[in-house]
Amino acid sequence: MGESVYQKNKDWLEKEHMGKIVAICKEGVAGVGKEILEVYQIAKKKYDGHFYFRKVGPNPCVDRLLVLIDR
């Protein structure tokens, strides 16, 4: 799900947000920012559910893994 949504939005993401972190959900791009926690907070305001995070560009790895448990 996440990577296929990224590929559909790849051109504008890489043109506008290269090197930043993107949150993706089944509805589409949920948020973009410099830090994973910032991106999560943006995404959570727009959508409820699970998010796929990756770095915009050829290397999808993020620097840190963020585990959040909502209660």
What is the pLDDT averaged over residues 30-59? 93
In a domain, 45, yes or no: yes
Flag whether pLDDT at 19 surpasses 90: yes
Q: Give alpha helix (H) positions in the chain.
A: 2-16, 36-46
In a domain, 64, yes or no: no
Domain count, the chain: 1
What is the pLDDT averaged over residues 43-71? 80
Flag whether pLDDT at 21 surpasses 60: yes
In a domain, 71, yes or no: no
Positive or negative: CA dihedral 28, 60, 18, 36:
positive
In a domain, 33, yes or no: yes
Question: Which pLDDT score is estimated for 71?
Answer: 47
> For residue 20, which of 54, 58, 71, 68 has the smallest C-alpha distance?
54
**Phi, psi (deg, nearest 5) at residue 47:** -135, 150
What is the pLDDT averaged over residues 50-70? 78
In a domain, 7, yes or no: yes
Structural domain span for residue 44: 2-55
